[in-house]
Each structure stands twice: as structure tokens, then as C-alpha cells.
Amino acid sequence: MLVRENLSLTFFTPDLSQNSGAIYFETGISAGFPSPADDFKQERLSLDGILVKNKLATFYARVSGQSMIGAGLDDNDLLVIDRSLEPAHNKIAVCFLDGEFTVKRLKVQADGVWLQPENPNYKPIKITEENNFVIWGIVTNVIKKV
């Protein structure tokens, strides 16, 4: 069954006013065989400082829905969205379509622009002149819970 999904995204603005952050161990954590850790260099790490390139144009939004699971965007993931980036073919974009926000992969083809879901249960959306359509921003990172 193919369905058209519209997402209701909740937007958050990054707070870059503080330079605190979580403790970061620079040595890395082995995903293979454990290695002896002689020195654990500690410093503070702010994810905003790493994930946000343009603080005035960057927002966070939470995913609601399953249409992008093939791209690794699962329900309740937190998206980092940069409004200063140029939309381009194959980028994942947050779009405002006919009064609702949605996140899809942009497909720019000779016959027009398509919003391509990453789940075979959802159908692509062809953008027409009748649509109220704005590419709101480009997804740069995804933050997941495990």
C-alpha cells in the first residue's frame, strides 16, 4: 500500500550561548579489540560547535513518521537543518508543502522536482505549479537515540 505522508516537525533553535558541553575523551573507543588506554585526555565538547556551521540559519527538528527510514531518518530522530545551504539534486530537504512540513530527498529531473521518500510504502510527490512549495532547509546531520 502506497501512502502520502505529511510530517509535523517540531523545530528547535540551537543554543550556542554557552561554551560548556559534555566531557569528551579524545582517545576514541574501540569497536574492535579493546586497546589499553594509557592516557584519557579530557576536554569539553559542544555538539552545537561541531554540527552547526551557521548558527543564524540552523535549526533542529524532530522527525515524525516512517517515510525516510531508508535514509536512516527514523521516527523521533533529531534533524540538524541548515537554511543557508543551496538545495540540490539528491540532498535531503525539509520542505513546506501545501501548509505542512515534510522531509524528503530532492529529485531534480528534466520533468520537474520530485520529493522522494526513502521507504517503498510511500509514493514520490511531484511538485506542480498548483502546490504551495518552499524548500525550507537542507538536513546536514541526524541525532539518534539508541
What is the set of active-site residues? 67, 104
- Within 8 A by CB and 6+ apart from 97, the residues are 6, 115, 125, 127, 131, 132, 133
Nearest to 66 by CA among 10, 116, 5: 5
Total residues belonging to the chain? 146
Q: Distances in Å between the alpha carbon of 98 and those of 4, 70, 78, 114, 134? A: 13, 24, 23, 14, 9
